Structure 1
């Protein structure tokens, strides 16, 4: 588990980028993407 603030920021940026990608897929109607996006949003908070 990363401990430094810099590592955490890097991971959060990666998670947010993934969330944006999933949001686009969910908007296109993908049910699986909607579920993954919901889980990922919980982790980001």
Structure 2
């Protein structure tokens, strides 16, 4: 989780607490997917 937050994949999450049993909203999942796609594109360009 720390690595995902460091890579910017958890921009929607506030604070440092991790709640594994809390469901993700569609908006949170979309945000995470968009960040992962953007990261992949940045890494592919290098």
- TM-score (norm: length of structure 1): 0.49
More helix by share: 1
- TM-score (norm: length of structure 2): 0.48
Between the two structures, name the one with larger relative contact order (CA 8 Å, sep ≥ 6): 2
